[in-house]
Amino acid sequence: MRVEEFESAYGSDGPWTELFRRAPGFIRTEILRDLEENNRYFTIDYWTDRDAYEGFRQDFSAEFQSLDKDCEAFTISERHVGDFEILQARE
């Protein structure tokens, strides 16, 4: 895995976030790095609601697929673990 390139591509100023920012309803992306396996990450993308995300996937499908292909060399594997909603925000 190419750690620096991965962190740059998926970070808050990377091309993924730049693409997401073009869509209404995008809030932010966070990257979590495993403390024991420093080449394992968990990315979390925040959207105002599921409709905003689904609209993004529809409207930016070609750009999403192209960027996904460009970045696949930065990962060993990728797995979608689910879609979640925040039940109570922290203060």
Tokens matching residue 17: 């976030």
What pTM does this model have?
A: 0.84
- Show the DSSP H helices in 1-91 as ranges: 3-10, 15-21, 50-59, 61-71
Q: pLDDT by residue (tens digit) across 38-88?
A: 889 999 999 999 999 999 999 999 999 999 999 998 888 889 999 998 887
- With beta carbons less than 8 A apart as the criterion, state whether 20 and 56 touch: yes
Q: pLDDT by residue (tens digit) across 5-51?
A: 989 999 888 999 999 999 999 999 999 999 999 889 999 999 999 99
